[in-house]
Structure 1
Amino acid sequence: MEKWIALIKEKLESWLTTLVKMLPNLVLAILVAVTFYLVARLLRKLMYKLLLKISHKAAISGLFSSIFFILILLIGFFISLQLLHLEKTIASMLAGAGIIGLALGFAFQDLTANFISGVFIIFRKPFDVGNIIDTNGFTGIVEEIQLRSTTIRTFDGLHIMLPNKEIFQKPVTNYSLSGKRRIDVTLTVPGKSNVNDMERRIQHALEEIPEVRNDKSEVLYTDYNGDAIKLEVHCWIDNTIERGYFATRDKVLRAVHAAMLTA
Protein backbone atom coordinates (compact mmCIF):
# COMPACT_ATOMS: atom_id res chain seq x y z
CA MET A 1 0.00 0.00 0.00
CA GLU A 2 2.84 2.35 0.84
CA LYS A 3 4.38 1.63 -2.57
CA TRP A 4 1.15 2.63 -4.31
CA ILE A 5 0.92 5.84 -2.30
CA ALA A 6 4.56 6.61 -3.12
CA LEU A 7 3.95 6.02 -6.84
CA ILE A 8 0.89 8.28 -6.84
CA LYS A 9 2.75 10.96 -4.92
CA GLU A 10 5.67 10.75 -7.31
CA LYS A 11 3.34 11.01 -10.29
CA LEU A 12 1.55 14.04 -8.87
CA GLU A 13 4.85 15.73 -8.14
CA SER A 14 5.96 15.04 -11.69
CA TRP A 15 2.77 16.59 -13.07
CA LEU A 16 3.14 19.60 -10.80
CA THR A 17 6.73 20.08 -11.93
CA THR A 18 5.71 19.85 -15.57
CA LEU A 19 2.87 22.32 -14.97
CA VAL A 20 5.21 24.83 -13.36
CA LYS A 21 7.70 24.46 -16.24
CA MET A 22 4.94 24.82 -18.85
CA LEU A 23 3.18 27.70 -17.08
CA PRO A 24 4.85 30.40 -19.24
CA ASN A 25 3.98 28.41 -22.36
CA LEU A 26 0.40 28.05 -21.14
CA VAL A 27 0.06 31.78 -20.56
CA LEU A 28 1.60 32.49 -23.96
CA ALA A 29 -0.72 29.95 -25.64
CA ILE A 30 -3.76 31.60 -24.04
CA LEU A 31 -2.57 35.04 -25.16
CA VAL A 32 -2.04 33.74 -28.71
CA ALA A 33 -5.52 32.14 -28.78
CA VAL A 34 -7.20 35.33 -27.49
CA THR A 35 -5.26 37.49 -29.99
CA PHE A 36 -6.20 35.29 -32.92
CA TYR A 37 -9.83 35.35 -31.78
CA LEU A 38 -9.94 39.15 -31.69
CA VAL A 39 -8.14 39.42 -35.04
CA ALA A 40 -10.49 36.83 -36.55
CA ARG A 41 -13.55 38.82 -35.45
CA LEU A 42 -12.16 42.02 -36.94
CA LEU A 43 -11.21 40.37 -40.23
CA ARG A 44 -14.59 38.63 -40.44
CA LYS A 45 -16.37 42.00 -40.40
CA LEU A 46 -14.00 43.42 -43.01
CA MET A 47 -14.35 40.31 -45.19
CA TYR A 48 -18.14 40.44 -44.93
CA LYS A 49 -18.28 44.06 -46.08
CA LEU A 50 -15.84 43.39 -48.94
CA LEU A 51 -17.72 40.31 -50.20
CA LEU A 52 -21.04 42.09 -49.86
CA LYS A 53 -19.79 44.80 -52.22
CA ILE A 54 -18.64 42.15 -54.72
CA SER A 55 -21.53 39.66 -54.61
CA HIS A 56 -24.37 41.85 -53.24
CA LYS A 57 -25.57 38.69 -51.46
CA ALA A 58 -25.76 38.66 -47.66
CA ALA A 59 -25.90 34.84 -47.55
CA ILE A 60 -22.74 34.26 -49.56
CA SER A 61 -20.90 37.08 -47.79
CA GLY A 62 -21.82 35.71 -44.38
CA LEU A 63 -20.83 32.17 -45.37
CA PHE A 64 -17.35 32.99 -46.65
CA SER A 65 -16.62 35.47 -43.87
CA SER A 66 -17.56 32.78 -41.33
CA ILE A 67 -15.32 30.24 -43.07
CA PHE A 68 -12.48 32.78 -42.99
CA PHE A 69 -13.17 33.38 -39.28
CA ILE A 70 -13.00 29.65 -38.51
CA LEU A 71 -9.76 29.21 -40.47
CA ILE A 72 -8.03 31.98 -38.50
CA LEU A 73 -9.27 30.46 -35.23
CA LEU A 74 -7.90 27.05 -36.25
CA ILE A 75 -4.51 28.58 -37.08
CA GLY A 76 -4.41 30.24 -33.67
CA PHE A 77 -5.53 26.99 -32.00
CA PHE A 78 -2.81 24.93 -33.69
CA ILE A 79 -0.13 27.51 -32.82
CA SER A 80 -1.27 27.40 -29.18
CA LEU A 81 -0.99 23.60 -29.16
CA GLN A 82 2.51 23.81 -30.59
CA LEU A 83 3.52 26.18 -27.81
CA LEU A 84 2.33 23.52 -25.37
CA HIS A 85 4.37 20.86 -27.25
CA LEU A 86 1.26 18.92 -28.30
CA GLU A 87 2.33 18.21 -31.88
CA LYS A 88 1.03 14.64 -31.73
CA THR A 89 -2.38 15.94 -30.72
CA ILE A 90 -2.40 18.22 -33.78
CA ALA A 91 -1.57 15.32 -36.09
CA SER A 92 -4.31 13.16 -34.56
CA MET A 93 -6.86 15.97 -34.88
CA LEU A 94 -5.98 16.61 -38.54
CA ALA A 95 -6.26 12.90 -39.35
CA GLY A 96 -9.62 12.68 -37.59
CA ALA A 97 -10.89 15.80 -39.35
CA GLY A 98 -9.88 14.34 -42.71
CA ILE A 99 -11.76 11.10 -42.07
CA ILE A 100 -14.86 12.94 -40.82
CA GLY A 101 -14.76 15.29 -43.81
CA LEU A 102 -14.52 12.37 -46.24
CA ALA A 103 -17.44 10.58 -44.58
CA LEU A 104 -19.59 13.73 -44.61
CA GLY A 105 -18.68 14.36 -48.26
CA PHE A 106 -20.06 10.95 -49.27
CA ALA A 107 -23.11 11.29 -47.03
CA PHE A 108 -24.11 14.72 -48.34
CA GLN A 109 -23.07 14.58 -52.00
CA ASP A 110 -26.23 16.24 -53.31
CA LEU A 111 -26.15 18.94 -50.64
CA THR A 112 -22.51 19.69 -51.40
CA ALA A 113 -23.17 19.78 -55.15
CA ASN A 114 -26.10 22.17 -54.67
CA PHE A 115 -24.01 24.38 -52.40
CA ILE A 116 -21.07 24.61 -54.83
CA SER A 117 -23.45 25.22 -57.74
CA GLY A 118 -25.13 27.99 -55.75
CA VAL A 119 -21.77 29.67 -55.14
CA PHE A 120 -20.97 29.55 -58.87
CA ILE A 121 -24.40 30.93 -59.78
CA ILE A 122 -24.09 33.81 -57.33
CA PHE A 123 -20.61 34.81 -58.48
CA ARG A 124 -20.90 34.12 -62.23
CA LYS A 125 -24.43 35.57 -62.35
CA PRO A 126 -25.92 33.80 -65.39
CA PHE A 127 -29.15 35.30 -64.07
CA ASP A 128 -30.24 37.54 -61.21
CA VAL A 129 -33.34 38.21 -59.13
CA GLY A 130 -36.06 39.65 -61.37
CA ASN A 131 -34.79 37.98 -64.57
CA ILE A 132 -37.11 35.91 -66.74
CA ILE A 133 -35.50 32.51 -67.34
CA ASP A 134 -36.36 29.11 -68.75
CA THR A 135 -34.69 26.03 -67.26
CA ASN A 136 -35.58 22.42 -66.52
CA GLY A 137 -38.92 22.91 -68.30
CA PHE A 138 -39.99 25.86 -66.15
CA THR A 139 -40.33 29.47 -67.31
CA GLY A 140 -40.76 32.29 -64.86
CA ILE A 141 -39.26 35.13 -62.86
CA VAL A 142 -36.34 34.52 -60.48
CA GLU A 143 -37.51 35.55 -57.02
CA GLU A 144 -34.70 34.29 -54.78
CA ILE A 145 -31.23 32.78 -55.18
CA GLN A 146 -30.03 30.81 -52.17
CA LEU A 147 -26.99 28.61 -51.67
CA ARG A 148 -29.01 25.41 -51.99
CA SER A 149 -31.84 26.29 -54.34
CA THR A 150 -33.31 28.98 -56.60
CA THR A 151 -36.97 30.02 -56.44
CA ILE A 152 -38.78 30.78 -59.70
CA ARG A 153 -42.30 32.20 -59.92
CA THR A 154 -44.03 30.97 -63.06
CA PHE A 155 -46.49 33.10 -64.99
CA ASP A 156 -49.24 30.92 -63.51
CA GLY A 157 -48.28 32.19 -60.05
CA LEU A 158 -46.60 28.96 -58.92
CA HIS A 159 -43.36 29.09 -56.93
CA ILE A 160 -40.85 26.47 -58.06
CA MET A 161 -37.79 25.71 -55.90
CA LEU A 162 -35.13 24.19 -58.14
CA PRO A 163 -31.92 22.65 -56.71
CA ASN A 164 -28.95 24.69 -57.89
CA LYS A 165 -27.24 21.55 -59.17
CA GLU A 166 -30.07 20.98 -61.66
CA ILE A 167 -29.83 24.58 -62.90
CA PHE A 168 -26.03 24.62 -63.10
CA GLN A 169 -25.81 21.36 -65.08
CA LYS A 170 -28.56 22.14 -67.60
CA PRO A 171 -29.14 24.89 -70.19
CA VAL A 172 -30.62 28.15 -68.94
CA THR A 173 -32.32 30.65 -71.24
CA ASN A 174 -32.21 34.14 -69.74
CA TYR A 175 -34.71 36.23 -71.69
CA SER A 176 -33.88 39.34 -69.68
CA LEU A 177 -30.29 39.51 -70.93
CA SER A 178 -31.48 40.58 -74.36
CA GLY A 179 -33.82 43.55 -74.21
CA LYS A 180 -35.53 42.58 -77.45
CA ARG A 181 -37.26 39.39 -78.54
CA ARG A 182 -38.70 38.35 -81.88
CA ILE A 183 -42.29 37.25 -82.42
CA ASP A 184 -42.96 34.96 -85.39
CA VAL A 185 -46.40 34.47 -86.92
CA THR A 186 -46.86 31.83 -89.64
CA LEU A 187 -49.59 32.41 -92.25
CA THR A 188 -50.98 30.29 -95.06
CA VAL A 189 -52.98 32.17 -97.73
CA PRO A 190 -54.46 31.20 -101.14
CA GLY A 191 -52.02 31.32 -104.05
CA LYS A 192 -54.07 34.01 -105.84
CA SER A 193 -53.98 36.42 -102.88
CA ASN A 194 -52.64 39.92 -103.30
CA VAL A 195 -49.65 39.45 -101.06
CA ASN A 196 -48.29 42.96 -101.53
CA ASP A 197 -51.52 44.51 -100.34
CA MET A 198 -51.66 42.01 -97.50
CA GLU A 199 -48.11 42.88 -96.46
CA ARG A 200 -48.93 46.56 -96.47
CA ARG A 201 -51.95 46.02 -94.24
CA ILE A 202 -49.98 43.86 -91.81
CA GLN A 203 -47.17 46.41 -91.58
CA HIS A 204 -49.69 49.17 -90.95
CA ALA A 205 -51.37 47.08 -88.22
CA LEU A 206 -48.03 46.45 -86.52
CA GLU A 207 -47.21 50.15 -86.57
CA GLU A 208 -50.22 50.72 -84.33
CA ILE A 209 -48.68 48.59 -81.56
CA PRO A 210 -46.37 50.74 -79.35
CA GLU A 211 -44.28 47.79 -78.11
CA VAL A 212 -43.30 46.69 -81.63
CA ARG A 213 -40.13 48.04 -83.23
CA ASN A 214 -41.49 48.78 -86.67
CA ASP A 215 -38.06 49.35 -88.23
CA LYS A 216 -37.39 45.61 -87.93
CA SER A 217 -40.82 44.22 -88.83
CA GLU A 218 -40.94 42.13 -92.00
CA VAL A 219 -43.17 39.75 -93.96
CA LEU A 220 -41.32 36.93 -95.74
CA TYR A 221 -42.31 34.21 -98.23
CA THR A 222 -41.42 30.78 -96.83
CA ASP A 223 -43.15 28.43 -99.32
CA TYR A 224 -45.32 28.37 -102.46
CA ASN A 225 -46.90 25.32 -104.08
CA GLY A 226 -49.24 26.96 -106.62
CA ASP A 227 -52.36 26.68 -104.50
CA ALA A 228 -51.12 28.26 -101.29
CA ILE A 229 -48.51 30.69 -100.11
CA LYS A 230 -46.82 30.42 -96.75
CA LEU A 231 -45.68 33.62 -95.08
CA GLU A 232 -43.93 34.49 -91.86
CA VAL A 233 -44.37 37.77 -90.02
CA HIS A 234 -41.36 38.79 -87.93
CA CYS A 235 -41.37 41.65 -85.46
CA TRP A 236 -39.23 42.64 -82.47
CA ILE A 237 -40.62 43.70 -79.10
CA ASP A 238 -39.46 44.90 -75.69
CA ASN A 239 -38.71 41.85 -73.55
CA THR A 240 -37.64 43.48 -70.28
CA ILE A 241 -41.05 43.75 -68.61
CA GLU A 242 -42.89 40.92 -66.86
CA ARG A 243 -45.19 39.01 -69.22
CA GLY A 244 -44.24 41.54 -71.92
CA TYR A 245 -43.70 38.85 -74.53
CA PHE A 246 -47.05 37.12 -74.00
CA ALA A 247 -49.07 40.35 -73.80
CA THR A 248 -47.44 41.82 -76.91
CA ARG A 249 -47.70 38.55 -78.82
CA ASP A 250 -51.43 38.62 -78.16
CA LYS A 251 -51.62 42.16 -79.61
CA VAL A 252 -49.59 41.13 -82.65
CA LEU A 253 -51.78 38.09 -83.39
CA ARG A 254 -54.94 40.16 -83.06
CA ALA A 255 -53.53 42.87 -85.34
CA VAL A 256 -52.44 40.35 -87.99
CA HIS A 257 -55.82 38.63 -87.82
CA ALA A 258 -57.63 41.93 -88.29
CA ALA A 259 -55.38 42.78 -91.24
CA MET A 260 -56.09 39.41 -92.86
CA LEU A 261 -59.83 39.91 -92.55
CA THR A 262 -59.69 43.20 -94.42
CA ALA A 263 -57.25 41.96 -97.03
Structure 2
Amino acid sequence: MTWDTVPSTLQETLGAYWDGFYAAIPKLAAALVVLAAVWAVVAVARYFIRQIGARTRMRQNLIDVLCMLAGTGFWLMGILIALAIVFPTITPAKALTTLGLGSVAIGFAFKDTFENFLAGILILLREPFAITDYVECEDIDGQIEEITIRDTHVRQTDGQLVVVPNHLLFQNPVTVRTDRDLRRTTVICGVAYGENVDNARSVIWNAVRAVDTVRDDVKDVEVFAQAFGASSVDFEVTWWTGSRPLDIRRSRDQVVAAVKAALDDAGIEIPFPYRTLTFKDPLPVRAHTDTAVEADEKADEPASRA
Protein backbone atom coordinates (compact mmCIF):
# COMPACT_ATOMS: atom_id res chain seq x y z
CA MET A 1 0.00 0.00 0.00
CA THR A 2 1.33 3.41 -1.04
CA TRP A 3 0.40 6.88 0.09
CA ASP A 4 -1.63 7.28 -3.06
CA THR A 5 -3.92 4.39 -2.11
CA VAL A 6 -4.51 5.50 1.49
CA PRO A 7 -7.49 7.77 0.76
CA SER A 8 -9.26 5.13 -1.28
CA THR A 9 -8.59 2.42 1.32
CA LEU A 10 -9.85 4.64 4.13
CA GLN A 11 -12.94 5.49 2.11
CA GLU A 12 -13.67 1.83 1.48
CA THR A 13 -13.21 0.99 5.18
CA LEU A 14 -15.53 3.77 6.33
CA GLY A 15 -18.03 2.77 3.70
CA ALA A 16 -17.98 -0.81 4.93
CA TYR A 17 -18.50 0.38 8.49
CA TRP A 18 -21.41 2.54 7.39
CA ASP A 19 -22.98 -0.26 5.43
CA GLY A 20 -22.63 -2.59 8.42
CA PHE A 21 -24.10 0.00 10.76
CA TYR A 22 -26.95 0.73 8.32
CA ALA A 23 -27.69 -2.97 8.06
CA ALA A 24 -27.62 -3.33 11.86
CA ILE A 25 -30.03 -0.43 12.48
CA PRO A 26 -33.11 -2.68 12.56
CA LYS A 27 -31.36 -5.01 14.99
CA LEU A 28 -30.29 -2.10 17.20
CA ALA A 29 -33.83 -0.75 17.13
CA ALA A 30 -35.20 -4.14 18.15
CA ALA A 31 -32.62 -4.37 20.97
CA LEU A 32 -33.59 -0.90 22.22
CA VAL A 33 -37.25 -1.92 22.17
CA VAL A 34 -36.38 -4.99 24.22
CA LEU A 35 -34.44 -2.87 26.75
CA ALA A 36 -37.31 -0.38 26.96
CA ALA A 37 -39.71 -3.26 27.61
CA VAL A 38 -37.38 -4.60 30.29
CA TRP A 39 -37.29 -1.14 31.93
CA ALA A 40 -41.10 -1.08 32.01
CA VAL A 41 -41.28 -4.62 33.41
CA VAL A 42 -38.76 -3.77 36.13
CA ALA A 43 -40.72 -0.64 37.10
CA VAL A 44 -43.98 -2.63 37.32
CA ALA A 45 -42.32 -5.45 39.28
CA ARG A 46 -40.84 -3.02 41.79
CA TYR A 47 -44.19 -1.29 42.19
CA PHE A 48 -45.97 -4.57 42.98
CA ILE A 49 -43.21 -5.68 45.36
CA ARG A 50 -43.47 -2.41 47.30
CA GLN A 51 -47.25 -2.67 47.46
CA ILE A 52 -47.13 -6.27 48.69
CA GLY A 53 -44.38 -5.40 51.17
CA ALA A 54 -46.41 -2.51 52.58
CA ARG A 55 -49.47 -4.72 53.02
CA THR A 56 -47.53 -7.53 54.68
CA ARG A 57 -45.50 -5.04 56.78
CA MET A 58 -42.13 -6.19 55.50
CA ARG A 59 -39.01 -4.35 56.53
CA GLN A 60 -38.06 -1.55 54.16
CA ASN A 61 -34.60 -3.05 53.74
CA LEU A 62 -36.11 -6.38 52.74
CA ILE A 63 -38.39 -4.65 50.22
CA ASP A 64 -35.36 -2.89 48.72
CA VAL A 65 -33.51 -6.22 48.48
CA LEU A 66 -36.40 -7.91 46.68
CA CYS A 67 -36.70 -4.97 44.29
CA MET A 68 -32.99 -5.12 43.57
CA LEU A 69 -33.05 -8.88 42.96
CA ALA A 70 -36.06 -8.61 40.67
CA GLY A 71 -34.50 -5.74 38.75
CA THR A 72 -31.18 -7.55 38.40
CA GLY A 73 -32.86 -10.71 37.11
CA PHE A 74 -35.00 -8.92 34.53
CA TRP A 75 -32.15 -6.71 33.32
CA LEU A 76 -29.82 -9.70 32.95
CA MET A 77 -32.42 -11.52 30.87
CA GLY A 78 -33.13 -8.44 28.76
CA ILE A 79 -29.46 -7.73 28.07
CA LEU A 80 -28.88 -11.33 26.95
CA ILE A 81 -31.84 -11.12 24.57
CA ALA A 82 -30.65 -7.76 23.22
CA LEU A 83 -27.14 -9.12 22.63
CA ALA A 84 -28.56 -12.14 20.80
CA ILE A 85 -30.57 -9.81 18.55
CA VAL A 86 -27.68 -7.49 17.69
CA PHE A 87 -25.03 -10.22 17.48
CA PRO A 88 -26.68 -13.44 16.30
CA THR A 89 -23.45 -15.38 16.80
CA ILE A 90 -23.64 -14.69 20.56
CA THR A 91 -26.21 -17.19 21.71
CA PRO A 92 -27.67 -17.05 25.23
CA ALA A 93 -25.78 -20.27 26.06
CA LYS A 94 -22.43 -18.73 25.10
CA ALA A 95 -23.25 -15.52 26.96
CA LEU A 96 -24.20 -17.45 30.09
CA THR A 97 -21.01 -19.51 29.86
CA THR A 98 -18.88 -16.39 29.59
CA LEU A 99 -20.85 -14.77 32.41
CA GLY A 100 -20.41 -17.88 34.54
CA LEU A 101 -16.64 -17.92 34.12
CA GLY A 102 -16.48 -14.22 34.90
CA SER A 103 -18.70 -14.72 37.95
CA VAL A 104 -16.32 -17.36 39.32
CA ALA A 105 -13.38 -14.97 39.01
CA ILE A 106 -15.36 -12.11 40.54
CA GLY A 107 -16.57 -14.41 43.32
CA PHE A 108 -13.04 -15.30 44.36
CA ALA A 109 -12.00 -11.65 44.24
CA PHE A 110 -14.97 -10.41 46.29
CA LYS A 111 -15.59 -13.45 48.49
CA ASP A 112 -16.14 -11.51 51.73
CA THR A 113 -18.40 -8.98 50.03
CA PHE A 114 -20.67 -11.65 48.58
CA GLU A 115 -20.64 -13.54 51.89
CA ASN A 116 -21.88 -10.45 53.71
CA PHE A 117 -24.41 -9.80 50.94
CA LEU A 118 -25.94 -13.28 51.15
CA ALA A 119 -25.88 -13.18 54.95
CA GLY A 120 -27.69 -9.84 54.87
CA ILE A 121 -30.41 -11.25 52.61
CA LEU A 122 -30.90 -14.28 54.88
CA ILE A 123 -31.01 -12.10 57.99
CA LEU A 124 -33.64 -9.85 56.42
CA LEU A 125 -35.67 -12.87 55.31
CA ARG A 126 -35.47 -14.76 58.61
CA GLU A 127 -35.78 -11.66 60.83
CA PRO A 128 -34.06 -13.12 63.92
CA PHE A 129 -33.87 -9.60 65.34
CA ALA A 130 -35.29 -6.20 64.45
CA ILE A 131 -34.25 -2.57 64.60
CA THR A 132 -34.25 -1.23 68.22
CA ASP A 133 -33.53 -4.73 69.58
CA TYR A 134 -30.67 -5.10 72.05
CA VAL A 135 -28.34 -7.91 70.99
CA GLU A 136 -25.10 -9.47 72.13
CA CYS A 137 -22.70 -11.25 69.77
CA GLU A 138 -19.08 -12.01 70.55
CA ASP A 139 -17.77 -8.80 72.21
CA ILE A 140 -20.55 -6.62 70.76
CA ASP A 141 -23.42 -5.57 73.02
CA GLY A 142 -25.87 -2.85 72.04
CA GLN A 143 -28.99 -1.71 70.19
CA ILE A 144 -29.53 -2.32 66.48
CA GLU A 145 -29.98 0.95 64.57
CA GLU A 146 -29.86 -0.20 60.95
CA ILE A 147 -29.68 -3.42 58.93
CA THR A 148 -28.26 -3.14 55.42
CA ILE A 149 -27.28 -5.68 52.79
CA ARG A 150 -23.62 -5.68 53.78
CA ASP A 151 -23.54 -4.81 57.49
CA THR A 152 -25.55 -4.05 60.61
CA HIS A 153 -25.14 -0.93 62.74
CA VAL A 154 -25.12 -1.57 66.50
CA ARG A 155 -25.09 1.29 69.01
CA GLN A 156 -23.37 0.08 72.17
CA THR A 157 -24.57 1.11 75.61
CA ASP A 158 -21.58 3.44 75.98
CA GLY A 159 -22.69 5.37 72.88
CA GLN A 160 -20.17 3.98 70.39
CA LEU A 161 -21.37 2.78 66.99
CA VAL A 162 -20.15 -0.62 65.81
CA VAL A 163 -20.56 -1.57 62.13
CA VAL A 164 -20.81 -5.37 62.17
CA PRO A 165 -20.37 -7.45 58.98
CA ASN A 166 -23.50 -9.49 58.42
CA HIS A 167 -21.64 -12.80 58.16
CA LEU A 168 -20.50 -12.35 61.78
CA LEU A 169 -24.12 -12.11 62.99
CA PHE A 170 -25.18 -14.96 60.72
CA GLN A 171 -22.46 -17.46 61.65
CA ASN A 172 -22.22 -16.81 65.42
CA PRO A 173 -24.77 -17.15 68.22
CA VAL A 174 -26.66 -13.91 68.82
CA THR A 175 -28.43 -13.17 72.10
CA VAL A 176 -31.50 -11.00 71.51
CA ARG A 177 -32.05 -9.39 74.90
CA THR A 178 -35.30 -7.63 73.98
CA ASP A 179 -36.97 -10.52 72.14
CA ARG A 180 -39.60 -10.29 74.90
CA ASP A 181 -40.77 -7.33 76.96
CA LEU A 182 -39.78 -8.99 80.25
CA ARG A 183 -36.48 -10.36 81.45
CA ARG A 184 -35.38 -12.07 84.66
CA THR A 185 -32.63 -10.63 86.81
CA THR A 186 -30.93 -11.82 89.99
CA VAL A 187 -28.96 -10.44 92.93
CA ILE A 188 -27.30 -12.23 95.85
CA CYS A 189 -28.07 -11.08 99.39
CA GLY A 190 -26.35 -12.43 102.52
CA VAL A 191 -27.53 -12.39 106.16
CA ALA A 192 -25.59 -13.29 109.28
CA TYR A 193 -25.46 -16.90 110.49
CA GLY A 194 -27.16 -15.90 113.71
CA GLU A 195 -30.34 -14.76 111.93
CA ASN A 196 -33.44 -16.84 111.31
CA VAL A 197 -33.36 -17.99 107.68
CA ASP A 198 -37.14 -18.22 107.21
CA ASN A 199 -37.70 -14.77 108.70
CA ALA A 200 -34.97 -13.23 106.55
CA ARG A 201 -36.42 -14.86 103.42
CA SER A 202 -39.87 -13.45 104.19
CA VAL A 203 -38.50 -9.92 104.77
CA ILE A 204 -36.55 -9.98 101.49
CA TRP A 205 -39.52 -11.36 99.53
CA ASN A 206 -41.91 -8.67 100.78
CA ALA A 207 -39.37 -5.92 100.13
CA VAL A 208 -38.79 -7.00 96.51
CA ARG A 209 -42.50 -7.30 95.76
CA ALA A 210 -43.06 -3.72 96.92
CA VAL A 211 -40.70 -2.28 94.27
CA ASP A 212 -42.53 -0.60 91.37
CA THR A 213 -40.29 -1.98 88.61
CA VAL A 214 -40.76 -5.58 89.74
CA ARG A 215 -43.38 -7.33 87.56
CA ASP A 216 -44.78 -9.74 90.12
CA ASP A 217 -48.10 -9.64 88.27
CA VAL A 218 -46.55 -11.77 85.53
CA LYS A 219 -44.24 -14.07 87.48
CA ASP A 220 -43.75 -14.15 91.21
CA VAL A 221 -40.63 -13.09 93.07
CA GLU A 222 -38.38 -16.01 94.05
CA VAL A 223 -36.05 -15.99 97.07
CA PHE A 224 -33.95 -19.09 97.76
CA ALA A 225 -31.25 -19.78 100.32
CA GLN A 226 -28.43 -20.57 97.94
CA ALA A 227 -25.21 -21.27 99.81
CA PHE A 228 -23.20 -21.02 103.02
CA GLY A 229 -20.89 -18.10 102.41
CA ALA A 230 -17.71 -17.23 104.27
CA SER A 231 -19.56 -14.87 106.62
CA SER A 232 -23.23 -15.22 105.72
CA VAL A 233 -26.07 -17.36 104.48
CA ASP A 234 -26.51 -16.23 100.86
CA PHE A 235 -29.94 -15.79 99.29
CA GLU A 236 -30.58 -15.79 95.55
CA VAL A 237 -33.21 -13.13 94.84
CA THR A 238 -34.88 -13.39 91.41
CA TRP A 239 -37.58 -11.22 89.81
CA TRP A 240 -38.87 -10.08 86.40
CA THR A 241 -38.66 -6.57 84.98
CA GLY A 242 -38.24 -4.76 81.65
CA SER A 243 -35.84 -6.27 79.12
CA ARG A 244 -33.82 -3.18 78.17
CA PRO A 245 -30.42 -2.73 79.85
CA LEU A 246 -31.59 0.50 81.49
CA ASP A 247 -34.65 -1.31 82.89
CA ILE A 248 -32.40 -3.98 84.39
CA ARG A 249 -30.03 -1.49 86.02
CA ARG A 250 -32.83 0.71 87.37
CA SER A 251 -34.74 -2.23 88.81
CA ARG A 252 -31.63 -3.77 90.38
CA ASP A 253 -30.82 -0.44 92.02
CA GLN A 254 -34.31 -0.15 93.52
CA VAL A 255 -34.39 -3.76 94.71
CA VAL A 256 -31.00 -3.54 96.44
CA ALA A 257 -32.04 -0.33 98.20
CA ALA A 258 -35.40 -1.79 99.25
CA VAL A 259 -33.89 -5.03 100.58
CA LYS A 260 -31.23 -3.13 102.55
CA ALA A 261 -33.84 -0.86 104.14
CA ALA A 262 -36.16 -3.78 104.97
CA LEU A 263 -33.40 -5.82 106.63
CA ASP A 264 -32.26 -2.81 108.64
CA ASP A 265 -35.81 -2.14 109.81
CA ALA A 266 -36.23 -5.79 110.81
CA GLY A 267 -32.93 -5.76 112.72
CA ILE A 268 -31.45 -8.46 110.48
CA GLU A 269 -27.69 -8.18 110.13
CA ILE A 270 -25.97 -8.00 106.75
CA PRO A 271 -22.52 -9.06 107.97
CA PHE A 272 -19.13 -7.71 107.08
CA PRO A 273 -16.54 -10.34 106.13
CA TYR A 274 -15.24 -12.18 109.21
CA ARG A 275 -11.66 -13.42 109.49
CA THR A 276 -10.51 -16.15 111.89
CA LEU A 277 -6.76 -16.32 112.56
CA THR A 278 -5.08 -19.58 113.63
CA PHE A 279 -1.50 -20.05 114.85
CA LYS A 280 0.68 -23.12 114.78
CA ASP A 281 1.90 -22.74 118.40
CA PRO A 282 -0.12 -21.51 121.37
CA LEU A 283 0.34 -17.82 122.12
CA PRO A 284 1.40 -16.87 125.69
CA VAL A 285 -1.20 -14.77 127.44
CA ARG A 286 -0.14 -12.49 130.30
CA ALA A 287 -2.43 -10.33 132.36
CA HIS A 288 -1.12 -6.80 132.77
CA THR A 289 -1.86 -5.32 136.17
CA ASP A 290 -0.81 -1.89 137.37
CA THR A 291 2.12 -3.37 139.33
CA ALA A 292 3.33 -5.32 136.29
CA VAL A 293 3.09 -2.21 134.13
CA GLU A 294 5.14 -0.14 136.65
CA ALA A 295 7.78 -2.89 136.80
CA ASP A 296 8.02 -2.95 133.02
CA GLU A 297 8.41 0.84 132.96
CA LYS A 298 11.19 0.77 135.59
CA ALA A 299 12.98 -2.01 133.67
CA ASP A 300 12.91 0.16 130.56
CA GLU A 301 14.25 3.32 132.28
CA PRO A 302 18.03 2.46 132.30
CA ALA A 303 17.89 1.49 128.64
CA SER A 304 16.19 4.77 127.70
CA ARG A 305 18.71 6.83 129.76
CA ALA A 306 21.61 5.06 128.15
Q: 1:81 to 1:176 in 2, by over 3 A?
A: same
Distance across 2 between alignment mates of 1:102 and 1:79: 22
* Match in the other structure for 2:278: none
Aligned equivalents of 1:44 and 1:70: distance in 2?
Answer: 11
Match of 1:205 among 200, 204, 207: 207
Q: Which runs of 5+ in 1 are unaligned?
A: none
Q: Within the alignment, does 1:238 sit opposite 2:221 as a pair?
A: no
Does residue 257 in structure 1 map to residue 290 in structure 2?
no
What is the CA–CA distance in structure 2 between the aligned matches of 1:31 and 1:260, rounded to whole Å?
85
Change in Cα spacing, 1:170 to 1:48, as seen in structure 2 (3 Å) is same
Correspondence for 1:177 among 169, 179, 202: 179
Q: Is there any run of 5+ residues in structure 2 with no aligned partner, and where?
A: 2-7, 269-306
CA distance in 1, matches of 2:261, 2:104: 67
> SS at the partner of 2:112?
helix
Amino acid at match of 1:160: V
The code of the aligned residue for 1:31 comes to: V
Q: TM-score, normalised by structure 1?
A: 0.81
Q: Deviations over 1:170-226 (max 9, x none)?
A: 111112112222221223333331122222221222132111133611221223489
Q: Structure 1 CA distance, aligned partners of 2:109 and 2:241?
A: 49
Q: 1:226 to 1:244 in 2, by over 3 A?
A: closer
Change (3 A) 1:104 1:49: farther
Q: Whose strand proportion is higher, 1 or 2?
A: 1
Structure with max Cα Rg:
2
> Whose helix proportion is higher, 1 or 2?
1
Instruction: Answer with 162-171 or 41-50: which moved more.
Output: 41-50
How many angstroms does 1:249 deviate by? 1.0
Partner SS state of residue 238, structure 2: strand
CA RMSD across the alignment: 3.5
Amino acid at match of 2:262: A
- For 1:222, which of 219, 222, 226 is the aligned residue? 226
The total of aligned residue pairs comes to 260
The residue identity in structure 1 corresponding to 2:151 is: S
Report the more deviating stretch, 84-93 or 136-145: 84-93
Q: Please identify, of 93-102 and 244-253, the stretch whose mean Cα deviation from structure 2 is larger.
A: 93-102
Partner of 1:71: 73
Q: For residues 79 and 148 of structure 1, do their structure 2 counterparts lie closer, same or farther at Cα, with a shift above 3 Å needed?
A: closer
Counterparts of 1:75 and 1:221, CA distance in 2? 70
CA distance in 2, matches of 1:40, 1:138: 39
Measure, in 2, the Cα distance between the counterparts of 1:207 and 1:221: 17
Distance 1:256 1:18 in 2: 90
| CA apart distance, 1:99 | 2.4
Displacement, 1:83?
4.2
Q: TM-score, normalised by structure 2?
A: 0.71
SS in 1 for 2:75: helix
Residue of 44, 47, 51 corresponding to 2:46: 44
* Letter paired with 1:150: T
CA distance in 1, matches of 2:28, 2:229: 96
